[in-house]
Amino acid sequence: MALKDTFILKNGVSVPKIGLGTWQIPDGKEAYNSIKWALEAGYRHIDTAMAYGNEASVGRAIRDSGIPREEIFVTTKLPAQNKGYKIAHECFEKSLADLGLEYIDLYLIHAPWPWDQIGIDCTEGNLDSWRAFEEIYESGKVKAIGISNFEPKHIEPILAMCKHMPMVNQIRFHIGDRQEEVVDYCRDKDILITAYSPLATGRILNDKTILDVAEKYNASPAQICIKYCLQKDMVVIPKSTKKERIISNKELGFIIDDMDMKALDRL
Kindly list the catalytic residues: 52
Least distance between ligand NAP and beta carbon 163 (Å): 24
Question: Is 236 within 8 Å of 17 (Cβ atoms)?
Answer: yes
Q: Which is nearer to ligand NAP, 30 or 259 (CB)?
A: 30
Least distance between ligand NAP and beta carbon 81 (Å): 13
Least distance between ligand NAP and beta carbon 14 (Å): 19
Question: Is 72 within 8 Å of 102 (Cβ atoms)?
Answer: no
Provide DSSP, 227-260: HHHHHTT-EE--B-S-HHHHHHTT-------HHH
Nearest residue to ligand NAP on Cβ basis? 21
Q: Which helix (H) or strand (E) is 41 found in, with range? A: helix 29-41
- Number of neighbours of residue 193 by Cβ within 10 angstroms: 22
The site for ligand NAP (CB under 6 A) is made up of: 21-23, 47, 110-111, 148-149, 170, 196-202, 205, 220, 222, 237-242, 245, 248-249
Q: Which is nearer to ligand NAP, 96 or 237 (CB)?
A: 237
Least distance between ligand NAP and beta carbon 228 (Å): 12
Least distance between ligand NAP and beta carbon 215 (Å): 15
Helices and strands, number each (H, E), in the chain: 10, 10
- Helix, strand, or coil (residue 146): strand
One-letter amino acid at 133 equals F
Q: Which is nearer to ligand NAP, 101 or 108 (CB)?
A: 108
Q: Which of 87, 160, 150 is nearest to 113 (CA)?
A: 150
Q: Which is nearer to ligand NAP, 11 or 24 (CB)?
A: 24
Phi, psi dihedrals of residue 250, rounded to the nearest 5°: -110, 5
Q: Which is nearer to ligand NAP, 162 or 200 (CB)?
A: 200
Q: Which of 100, 128, 123, 127 is nearest to 113 (CA)?
A: 123
- By the 10 Å C-beta count (0-12 exposed, 13-18 middle, 19+ buried), 210 is classed as buried
